[in-house]
Amino acid sequence: MTRKRAVRNERRTRTAGRESQQARRARAPKVFELLAGAHPDAQCALTHKNPYQLIVAVILSAQCTDERVNQVTPSLFRRYPTVADLAAANQQELEELIRPTGFFRNKTKSLLGMAGAVMERHDGRIPNTMEELIQLPGVGRKTANVILGVAFGKNEGVVVDTHVHRLARRLAFTKHDDPAKIEQDLMELFPRERWTDLGHLLIFHGRRVCNARKPRCAECVVSRLCPSSSV
């Protein structure tokens, strides 16, 4: 970490610590509405038709762009159209199909383990509860949040990826680095019905405006509400 970045992080931590929870609660809905107005198209960027396709795509998206995953999944789903087909897949063949997404050996292990567990425990149907999802190989809380929110319309938490992590700290909605603690802070600031949409909005804003190296604060709709703004 560079000294400049360390100084910025320290400033954000001080800001988050000084601001009262009541003040953050008052600022949070304003930020949400502005982001919703700026990104009306914010949604899951992974192309899918059903919960099975979504869980596969999310597993593949680890350390990989959504665009690359969307390039790989059409041929993958033609070859393995159902959970049962994936559970019976040849390991080497599956590795070759998903190789472009990176870390393909670990992802193959996760996909085969997930599919096998879904067949064994859930009769081939992707489960729709947090408790059941996180018991599947390759599925953590972040993945489960995506599945529940996008595929089943259940707001059980906030997806905390690298964009959400970065923006939550820049907006002083949290002082933490641990994703679980960041998620908890966001859940306390925003009503349950907004948790899934909040993740989409922060991700889209992080990609389009508030990027990691050089945030475009002058173009940011929440600049006046952001303690980290340079304008």
Return the pLDDT at 231.
84
Examine the residue annotation and report whether 161 is marked as an active-site residue of this protein: yes
- Residue whose pair of structure tokens reads 């349950």 in the numeric block: 192
Tell me the CATH class for 51-151.
mainly alpha
Average pLDDT over residues 175-195: 97
Question: pTM for the whole thing?
Answer: 0.89
Return the pLDDT at 8.
55
The C-alpha angle with vertex 167 and arms to 153 and 179, in degrees rounded to 5, equals: 65
Catalytic hit among 142, 175, 185, 197: 142
Return the pLDDT at 194.
98
Residue 227 tokens, joined: 């303690």
Instruction: Look up the CATH number of domain 18-43+157-225.
Output: 1.10.1670.10
Residue 111: which residues within 8 A CB-CB, separation 6 or more?
56, 59, 60, 86, 89, 94, 98, 138
Residue 22: which residues within 8 A CB-CB, separation 6 or more?
none
Whether 5 shows a pLDDT value over 70: the answer reads no
Residue 201 CA neighbour count, 13 Å, CB half: 22
Whether 39 shows a pLDDT value over 90: the answer reads yes
Catalytic hit among 85, 109, 161, 175: 161
Q: What mean pLDDT value characterizes the chain?
A: 94
Return the pLDDT at 67.
97
Examine the residue annotation and report whether 142 is marked as an active-site residue of this protein: yes
Residue 9: which residues within 8 A CB-CB, separation 6 or more?
1, 169
- Residue spans per domain, the chain: 18-43+157-225, 51-151
Whether 222 shows a pLDDT value over 80: the answer reads yes
